[in-house]
Structure 1
Amino acid sequence: MRSLEVLKLFKSLHRTSRQVFKNDSKALEAARLKINEEFKNNKDEASSERIAELIKLGSDVEVILRTSVLQGVHTDANKLLLIPRKELMLDNVPFCDIPTQKS
């Protein structure tokens, strides 16, 4: 059963990295190599607890990639153009300096 979880995580990480690093061949290749390397390094792991830890770590990495990574393109020596994905765009909530009174 663990092998299905591992395979699902492997595919999910690759899918997410393709979305996050779209149009950036260097980042895509680096992500692909890193994902493959980490899975290859741990392919002979037999400890159920260690496998669970690795699956949790991989899942956390996938969430961080999907929710926190922005692409940036250098447009000038001191300028960077950020390219947010649609799923990263959140509604802007105005900041309020005055705390609300509790009744």
Structure 2
Amino acid sequence: MSVGAREPLLRHILGDLLRRRRHEQKRTLADVATEAQISMPYLSEVERGLKEASSEVLAAVCRALGIGVGDLLAEATAEFALLRQPLVVTTITEPAPVGFAPQSGYGSVSLLAA
């Protein structure tokens, strides 16, 4: 990360991962919150990264979603790695075909890589 860049927050990454799992399962906040025995507004705040969930709450939500806490944390670690990699932009320019009047930027392709 560059100097001055902020580290991603764990609560944002975990919340996003939990929301993705819930959406993949086509389940509602109310359904998962009820099964996890937590309030729906609290689960919503956890998913949006507004609240830092305790390990007990994470375990309950993971159980309700049918995923392991270790799997969630492994996925969060992978997300951290992706978010921490600098964005690299490379431009590749192809020569214009023979007999073709070149235009500005002909054949330019920008590649983004993390």
TM-score by length of 2: 0.31
Q: Which structure has the greater CA radius of gyration?
A: 2
Q: Larger helix proportion, structure 1 or 2? A: 1
